[in-house]
Amino acid sequence: MDQRTQELVSMLVIGLVAGFLAHLVLGGSGLLTYLLSGVLGAFVGPLVLNAANVNLKLGNALVNKIATATIGAIIVVILARFIR
């Protein structure tokens, strides 16, 4: 597996976990919903945390990515609910 494929799979797995965690916090269900909100959260989370000048230092890069993506996914889900 080449590096781009590994990065894509990694992003999808992190997005799925982050989306699942966000939906545990806010409620909801559906694998596609988890994946979509988590992947979008993986982009939104770092933007929001950087804008707020927040740096998560949880001791592990993977845990940091999941936590950041989860925060982003929570924001995405809240915004999606607000828009609906």
Residue 30, token pair as written in the block: 């559906």
- Residue 84 pLDDT > 80: no
Digit-coded pLDDT (tens) for 32-51: 888 889 889 988 998 999 99
- Residue 25 to residue 72: CA distance in whole angstroms: 13
Digit-coded pLDDT (tens) for 49-66: 999 998 888 888 889 999
Q: Which are the contacts of 14, defined by CB distance < 8 A and separation ≥ 6?
A: 38, 42, 62, 65, 66, 69
Is the C-alpha dihedral spanning 74, 19, 60, 7 positive or negative? negative
Q: Is-above-0.85 flag for pTM?
A: yes
